[in-house]
Structure 1
Amino acid sequence: MATNSYTLLSALGTLLLGLVITVALVCGYTYLVTLTSFHINARKHTDTSAKAQLAHSPPLVPYFVPGLGSTITFSNQNIGTYWTWLQSQASRYRQDAFAIILAGKHTNFIFSEAGIAAIFKSRQVSREKLDQQLGVNVLGMSKEDSVKAFPYDVAEKEKSSVAKIYSEHLLSSSAVNALTGKFMETFRAELESDASLGEGIEVDLYDFLWKKVFIASTTAQCGSTLLEMFPDFSTDYKIWEDNLLGLLFGTPPLFARSAYDARDASVKKLEAWLNAGYAKPLKDGEDPDWEPNFGAKVMRKRHDYYHQQGLSIHGQAGFDLIAIAGIISNATPATGWLLLHILSPTSPPDFHSRIMAELESSRKNDGSVDIPALTRLPLLNSAFHEVLRLYVDLLVVRQVDSSVALGGHYVKQGEQVMAPTWMTHRNPAFFENPEVFDPERFLTKDAETGKVGYSIAGLGGKYFPFGGGHYMCPGRTFAKQEVLGTVAVLLLNFDIDFVGYTGQGSGKHGFPGIKKGYAGNQVVGIEGDMRVRIKKRSTGI
């Protein structure tokens, strides 16, 4: 009996050893083959002969595990780590594009100015399949609903489309001004209703800001009914938002249970809100810019589109969830980063006072803020764009519908391309001292008049915080007005005094650092906070 057990264990040990050796051989062979291919392809890029200058495929980064490729290293949640490594390889091998195997998909990272510009213009790349994947993974839609929500086209001219809705009801000046006006009205009301601000309190600035802005943004976009029905809506929403990219990449529920639960809870609440709103339709002929049940006109037009496409109520709720995220997820941290830099003692000593002087010029006689004037203030707008340059980690992702050369980079049908802002916005060839926050970076001076302004013109594929081409963020104008308006209301109406840094800030003297997350998380989250004392001014709102 003992002999048989020993023989069995010995056989299992031999089998296990053989399996380990086989895996090691396969991984070793895979690495040697991909390493050799990488060096051969990389040399093509540095070859100056005329033949070598023809478009060719980006070198494939070597990897060990077949199928998995570079997925694990790419998934490093210390934001910037992977991009910094890739930039070092770009410098070492003189490359401006690489390819990796990401979750079994051949993925091309293109970070040349010409290549990025080509991505934005090309008709051979698109996003519909990726959007449908987002619908299923991130929004909890059925496959049927995701196809209806993100169709390849809406052929009939008389039919609506999301792009048409955004063009008419989010990008037009009248629509964006109405949305901004409601946001500012609600944000000011939130501050006025907080009695503690009259006496003055100590708060963690970004935590304080996020809660106020969430209420104002959600109300402006969706109406007041949603938060009246679900005052705790922000709780599940925040968990979902923090894990959005993990869901998109298909993280199994076993490893992200709270994210899936938060997604499903948020969608369920939105379903109830939609049903309540549909039970109270507007009267014939009514078409206000804002109403309490469904908020801004753009949301009601989206709901018309849902019905046109035959989306289930569950699919509609998921679609509304991503619409809310489009307004809130990036503008709020951008506002936070801008305020942190304005108020930080580590910033240039005259930065705060110069910003205040500009803001005072935008104050109307009745004490309110002139939003159009805000969007013309040179230093404020330069600092805003510097925040986007330094803190946007956006991945412009496209599927390759037919093989094409993109600025000298040949990509094949069925592959995908990604343009990472982190590598272009922090490229020293594009921006001097790219790791440093420089609020004057985008300032300009007229040679004849000496007038100071700001400009991002001519940056093309070097700077694209809102994406580019047909899929450029439709909420970009409102987002900017929301950020600048929030900053103006706070700084013009409240005394805000720096107390200290809190949390796990990793910047200079404890300045807040970047929150962990997946690469491509758009405006990066804030790790740590700034403790301030905030008190309403006697002349404030």
Structure 2
Amino acid sequence: RWYPGPEWATLGVLHTIGAFRKRSPKEPPLDKGFIPWLGHGINFKKKPSIFLEEMQKKHGDIFTVLIAGIYINIVGDPHTFEQILKESKEKLDFNGFALQVVFNVFGFQPTYSHHKIVQSNSKKHLRGKNLAVLNKAMWKKMEMVLLRTQGSAERKGSWQQDGLLRFSYKTIFQASFLALFGTEPEKSSEGNENATNHLMQCEEFYEAFQKFDHFFPEMALGMLGPVDKAKTQKLKEYFWDQLLVEKVFSKDNISNWLVELVQQMADVGMTEKMQTQFLLLLLWASQANTGPAAFWILAYLLKHPEALKAVKEEVEKALRETGQEAKSEGPSIDVSLDTIKTPLLDSAVEETLRLAAGSFVFRSVMQDMDLKMADGKEYTLRKGDHLLIFPFVALHTNPEIYPDPFIFKYDRFVNPDGTKKEFYKNGKKLKYYTMPFGGGTTMCPGRFFAISEMKMFVIMMLTCFEMELVNVEEELPPVDKSRAGFGIAHPAHDIQFRYRLRF
């Protein structure tokens, strides 16, 4: 009998991983690189923006690349995004990828019913009148974090120094955590004492969260080594202990969003263990991106004095028109974002997200299908491949859409009369001109609350504090490339700033 030798086994493996794949006539241009299986994996991981820009120059607005054994169709034409985002999940599906990430990081497998509960509940509580209620709670907690601690006798009027990232991230984390997950029952009638106790309880939680989030990209992709696996498992166990449902529900002032979510998850059969794992997912989803975003907007404003001055004057004018002003006898501001108009601040927030948001929009190709591009050309996509949009390259830093794309222009998104600008590519108006929160049915359900957090943080810092960079000549740090594709970019290092109460 004849038995295949090792060379035939090798050929079989190469065939399985797609080494012999050829482009069919209607398929996008195919670029497998020169390394079997790995393909362009190294360049994509190290410098995704540069890699995708070079591939687009070489192949056009759609092409297929091999990355670590996976074939990914990259689409770079913004006018085609709408077609992709409205495609049915029977053809282009996000759930498979998302479920795998959730399992890798948080240890449980959500179902379609769980996803629907999150979507409907978030739509109910994280927009409109219910969002206004949550914003009010967030403002009060931010007052507690920033003003009661800074207003102590030994700090009043004196300059404090801190890392801008640490300050921004910690402030947003503590205020948001207390607004969403509640506070321990009051143990005394002294407001300042209770505030101090609440913040001390948040401190350890914040430090643990930073360590956990540091490992998130590797956890999501299942790329942790044995030592880091042990570290992240220990962190998860710490959070699971702190987020036991009975512990969380023993607190005061829990957000209605959180209460209803957990109750509805229990109603569809989610075990208490899974509910705790789900609470860790909610903690990460609500905290991981807003802190870095708050850092970037303060950093850009501090580096651009004309922007800082214009936004500050606009905010103070808007508050005066509602009869409010920060005074020496104490804060008298009660910000209601739906009653004050701040088009310059809105534009500055959107400009920050344009520059800092680097998420991938990912879909799995569930069946052989044709994709019609905006220019009329059609391409066949293969079942089992994947599709990826990278808005940072295709939209956010496209010089045809945004002249001087890497320069912060606080008023880029607003016309002189205060109306929102429109943006065009190839002479055609863009429906999607920024995509910091993804797109389609998988767009981040908490995006309105995240923007509200950023705006409230800036308003409080501008109205209640004086602040400046310690070294005004220092350039803003580059981004941490290891987190490319996973939300708001983190700076590669922190920068120092000074701040003090104005009253």
Matched, 1:401 2:366: yes
CA contact 2:32–2:66 (8 Å) conserved in 1: no
Which residue, out of 29, 53, 72, partners 1:87? 53
Cα 1:303–1:532 shift into 2, 3 Å: same
Equivalent residues of 1:96, 1:110 under 8 A apart: yes
1:234 and 2:206 are equivalent in the alignment? yes
Q: Distance in 2 between matches of 1:422 and 1:513?
A: 15
Q: 1:230 to 1:480 in 2, by over 3 A?
A: closer
Retained in 1: the 8 A contact 2:243–2:280? Answer: no
Which of 111, 119, 124 lines up with 1:163 in the alignment? 119
Label 1:65 to 1:455 Cα distance change in 2 as closer, same or farther (>3 A): same
Matched residue SS, 1:161: helix
CA deviations over 1:473-520 (Å, ceiling 9, x no partner): 11111111110110010110111133227xxxxxx8432221232320
Answer yes or no: is 1:430 the counterpart of 2:401: yes
- 1:316 deviation in Å? 1.8
Rounded Cα–Cα distance in structure 1 between residues aligned with 2:175 and 2:217: 25
Give the CA RMSD over aligned residues.
3.1
Q: In the TM superposition, what is the alpha-carbon distance from 1:374 to its structure 2 partner?
A: 8.0
State which of 284, 291, 295 in structure 1 corresponds to 2:254: 295
CA distance in 2, matches of 1:66, 1:132: 28
Q: What is aligned with 1:491? A: 462
Aligned partners of 1:57 and 1:409 also within 8 Å: yes
Q: Which residue of 1 aligns with 2:187?
A: none
| 354 and 293 in structure 1: CA distance in 2 versus 1, 3 angstrom threshold | same
Counterpart in the other structure of 1:68: 38
Q: Specify whether residues 314 and 531 from structure 1 end up closer, same or farther in structure 2 by C-alpha distance, changes over 3 A only.
A: same
The residue aligned with 1:136 is 103
* Cα drift, residue 336 of structure 1: 1.0
Structure 2 matches for 1:250-329, cutoff 5 A? 250-254=222-226, 256-257=228-229, 260-261=232-233, 263-272=235-244, 274-277=245-248, 280=250, 292-293=251-252, 295-329=254-288
- Is the alpha carbon distance of 1:216 and 1:119 closer, same or farther for their aligned partners in structure 2, counting shifts above 3 Å? same
CA displacement at 1:184 relative to structure 2 = 0.8
What whole-Å deviation, never above 9, does each CA across 1:237-290 have from its counterpart, x for those lacking one?
112222212111111332633662355235423443x13245x5xxxxxxxxxx
Q: Does 1:414 align with 2:367?
A: no
TM-score normalised over the length of structure 2: 0.82
Residue type of the alignment partner of 1:327: S
Distance 1:134 1:58 in 2: 28
Does 1:532 pair with 2:497? yes
Q: CA deviation digits over 1:201-238, x for unaligned, max 9?
A: 12222212221211101111111249776741122211
Structure showing greater Rg = 1
CA positional deviation for 1:192: 2.3
Query: Is the Cα–Cα contact under 8 Å of residues 162 and 305 in structure 1 kept in the other structure?
Result: no
Give, as a single letter, the amino acid of the residue that structure 1 aligns with 2:51. Answer: W
SS at structure 2 position matched to 1:533: strand
Of 147, 150, 156, the match for 1:192: 147
> What's the offset of the Cα at 1:422?
1.7
> Alpha-carbon deviation of 1:319?
1.7
Are 2:115 and 1:115 aligned?
A: no
Deviation (angstroms), 1:334: 1.3
How far did 1:166 drift? Answer: 1.4
2:465 aligned with 1:500, yes or no? no
Is the contact between residue 347 and residue 412 of structure 2 (CA under 8 Å) also seen in structure 1?
Answer: yes
Name the amino acid aligned to 2:415: T
Map of 1:471 onto structure 2: 442
User: Compared with structure 1, are the counterparts of its residues 265 and 229 closer, same or farther at alpha carbon in structure 2 (3 Å cutoff)?
Assistant: farther
Query: What secondary structure sits across from 2:222 in the alignment?
Result: coil
Which of 451, 454, 459 is 2:430 aligned to? 459
The Cα of 1:469 is off from its aligned counterpart by: 1.2
Q: What's the CA shift for 1:121?
A: 0.5
Distance 1:262 1:71 in 2: 30
CA drift at 1:460: 2.4
Mapped partners of 1:66, 1:305: distance in 2: 48
Alpha-carbon shift at residue 418 of structure 1 (Å): 1.5
CA distance in 2, matches of 1:535, 1:213: 18
Deviation at 1:404, TM superposition (A): 2.6
- Equivalent-residue separation in structure 2 for 1:437 and 1:420 (angstroms): 20
Correspondence for 2:136 among 166, 178, 181: 181
- The one-letter code sitting in structure 2 at the alignment partner of 1:318 is Q
TM-score in terms of structure 1 length = 0.76
SS of aligned partner of 2:341: coil
**Amino-acid identity (%):** 21
Report the 3-state secondary structure (helix = DSSP H, G, I; strand = E; otherwise coil) of the residue aligned with 1:370. coil
**Partner Cα separation in structure 2 for residue 32 and residue 221 of structure 1:** 50
Q: 1:421 to 1:379 in 2, by over 3 A?
A: same
Q: Measure the CA separation in 2 of the matches of 1:427 and 1:246.
A: 29
Q: How many Å separate the matches in 1 of 2:220 and 2:267? A: 26
Q: 178, 199, 211: which one pairs with 1:219?
A: 178
Which residue pairs with 2:328 in the alignment?
none
What is the distance in 1 between the residues matched to 2:39 and 2:227? 20
Judged with a 3 Å threshold, the aligned counterparts in structure 2 of structure 1 residues 100 and 518 are, in CA distance, closer, same or farther, namely farther
Paired with 2:430 and 2:203, the residues of 1 have a C-alpha distance of 43
Q: Displacement of 1:375 after TM fit?
A: 6.8
SS, match of residue 497 in structure 2: strand
Partner of 1:513: 478
Is residue 104 from structure 1 mapped to residue 63 from structure 2 by the alignment? no
| Alpha-carbon separation, structure 2, partners of 1:341 and 1:374 | 26
Distance 1:515 1:374 in 2: 37
Aligned counterpart for 2:309 among listed residues 328, 353, 364: 353
Determine if the alignment matches structure 1 residue 378 to structure 2 residue 340: no
